[in-house]
Amino acid sequence: MKWTLKKGKKRDLFQYTQRKLTVTYTWLIILFLALFSIIVSLFFIFMAYREQSNSLSSTMYATQDGRVVVPDLENSRSDELYFFYVLDNRGQVLAQSDAIPQLSERNLAEIENWQPDGDSFRLRWQPEQQQRYGDLIIRTDDRLLFVGAHPIMTTNGPATIFAAKDITFYWDILRNLLIVFIIILIIFIIAAVKLSSSMSKKAMIPIQRTFGQQQQFLADASHELRTPLSIMNTSLDVIELENGDTITPYSKEVVSDMKEEIDRMSRMVQHLLMLARSDAGSVEFEMGAFDIAPKLRQWVLAFEGVAQKKAITLRTMLPDTLTVKGDPERLKQLVYILLDNAIKYTPEGGKVDVGLDPNPKQWRIIVRDSGIGIAEADQPRIFDRFYRVEKHRSREEGSAGLGLAIAKQIVIAHRGSVVLESSPGKGSTFSVEFPV
């Protein structure tokens, strides 16, 4: 499995959270406005449909002395009826009336082959058209027709009444309503972004203040703990020097255990102090050009004794020289963290390889081990603070889960990235890439 910690600037947690809150607030406001617009539009369509269907039904059901009443549409358009036809099952016209008689053929084509079993309604869009009838030119604008059908029984057999109303007016209202909603939506989006940004800033003020106080306490406490830990370590050294000959083996073991615990606490305090300063932006990196090849040999040499205790073969594959740009002390700390983890989680008789890979565009530090490996589910989280893959074993090894979090800060400060390749039981390879 291959996992990558991408390069880039350190992300400001508060700015990121503020942007997320702004986006969330904005989308909530837009969502409510959109739902309101949809509900109003659907209500308008429903009311218009019910009104027009009732009006058409009244027209199609109108009778006088048992006969269908055919309105005279050519001389009167007060009811906005567009056409009225009575057709038998063969499509023959039994009665008809048109607001514009010259468009009768076009209107009949709209209802051709439509023979419903019961009352039915449809929408028909008639595009703009211009036709010549002798010396007469008929020009019609775009129209939206609401057409209804009502089956009836006549003395000659079944027939169907077709009636249509011009509802272009309602379409224009709906279209203008949608345009108004869109304009309002744009205005609300602008207002929502500003309002949401202001709300998120106010929401983050107490969180930032609390976090700042927490980080200040962590930095102060870590700084203050360094002195008593140093005194305790020095005191134990004095006890060993002054009472080396008289101290019992059991007491020596106790003193040795205390020194190990003090060393572990000192490393933890040092890591906490660096993380606190990193969060506060007060960690200074002294960037400069230097030859990393001889330094990396020295850094690896410092772990020879630790590796020999576990019979681990520690090998290096380094060029004679490689000039890079960075902070030597921080890069040393990075290598120490990677080597410490590699040796710590590699069983006895294993191998740990350290290499440098020069490249015109980037250079890499590679640390490969034959250890226990890292499960795929754990790989994205190993750089989180206090996260430990094997918690029980990590406690035994004296790990607090801060080493890789420190390494992450160092890599980010150098605008680098980390590529991890690992499988359980097959070891891990950390490849740290830096720009030239």
Angle at 416 (CA atoms; ends 413, 418), nearest 5 degrees: 120
**Same domain, yes or no: 123 and 18:** no
**Same domain, yes or no: 315 and 288:** yes
- Calculate the alpha carbon distances from 428 to 360, 365, 371, 372, 406 in Å: 26, 14, 7, 8, 19
Cα separation, 322 vs 358, whole angstroms: 7
Q: What is the pLDDT of residues 382-395, one digit of tens each?
A: 887 766 665 544 44
Cα separation, 279 vs 329, whole angstroms: 19
**Same domain, yes or no: 184 and 147:** no
**Which domain does 146 fall in, by range?**
81-166
Q: What is the pLDDT of residues 40-51, one digit of tens each?
A: 888 888 888 888
Mean per-residue pLDDT over the chain, rounded:
79
Which range of 95-109, 127-141, 268-282, 395-409 scores highest in mean pLDDT? It is: 95-109
Chain centroid, CA 73 distance in Å: 60
Q: What is the pLDDT of residue 277?
A: 60
**Same domain, yes or no: 327 and 363:** yes
Q: Which residues of 50-59 are buried (b: 16+ CB within 10 A; e: fewer)?
A: eebeebbeeb
Q: What is the pLDDT of residue 320?
A: 86
Assigned token pair, 93: 């016209």
Of 69-83, 166-180, 185-199, 354-368, the range with the lowest mean pLDDT is 69-83
- Does residue 234 register a pLDDT over 80? no
Mean predicted confidence (pLDDT) in 19-25: 78
**Same domain, yes or no: 36 and 102:** no
Q: What is the pLDDT of residue 368?
A: 92
Cα separation, 59 vs 371, whole angstroms: 88
Please report whether residue 32 resides in a domain: yes
Q: Are strands 362-369 and 428-435 parallel, antiparallel or unpaired?
A: antiparallel
Mean predicted confidence (pLDDT) in 323-334: 87
Mean predicted confidence (pLDDT) in 367-379: 86
Of 85-94, 268-277, 425-434, the range with the lowest mean pLDDT is 268-277
**Same domain, yes or no: 301 and 395:** yes
256 or 169, which is more confident: 169
Cα separation, 241 vs 135, whole angstroms: 126
**Same domain, yes or no: 135 and 31:** no
Q: What is the pLDDT of residues 46-95, one digit of tens each?
A: 888 888 888 888 888 888 877 888 888 876 655 578 888 988 888 888 88
Please report whether residue 226 resides in a domain: no
**Same domain, yes or no: 201 and 154:** no
Q: What is the pLDDT of residue 96?
A: 86
**Same domain, yes or no: 50 and 137:** no
Q: What is the pLDDT of residue 279?
A: 61
Report the domain count for the chain.
3
Q: What is the pLDDT of residue 395?
A: 47
**Same domain, yes or no: 386 and 430:** yes
Q: What is the pLDDT of residue 367?
A: 92
**Same domain, yes or no: 162 and 179:** no
- Does residue 425 register a pLDDT over 70? yes
User: Could you write out the DSSP letters of every residue in 300-358?
Assistant: HHTTHHHHHHTT-EEEEE--S--EEEE-HHHHHHHHHHHHHHHHHTS-TT-EEEEEEE-
Q: What is the pLDDT of residues 299-315, one digit of tens each?
A: 988 888 888 888 898 89
pTM of the predicted protein model:
0.52
Please report whether residue 129 resides in a domain: yes
- Does residue 147 register a pLDDT over 80? yes
Please report whether residue 68 resides in a domain: no
Please report whether residue 245 resides in a domain: no
- Helices assigned H by DSSP within 62-95: none
Provide the terminal-to-terminal Cα distance of the chain, rounded to the nearest Å: 27
Assigned token pair, 9: 């600037």
Please report whether residue 233 resides in a domain: no
- What's 162's domain CATH number? 3.30.450.20
- What's 396's domain CATH number? 3.30.565.10
Nearest to 281 by CA among 212, 187, 352, 183: 212
**Same domain, yes or no: 179 and 144:** no
Mean predicted confidence (pLDDT) in 227-243: 72
Mean predicted confidence (pLDDT) in 149-177: 86
Please report whether residue 249 resides in a domain: no
Backbone angles phi, psi at 135, to 5 degrees: -85, -5
Of 2-16, 66-80, 95-109, 274-288, the range with the lowest mean pLDDT is 2-16
Please report whether residue 225 resides in a domain: no
Q: What is the dihedral of CA 70, 76, 77, 81, to 10 degrees?
A: 10
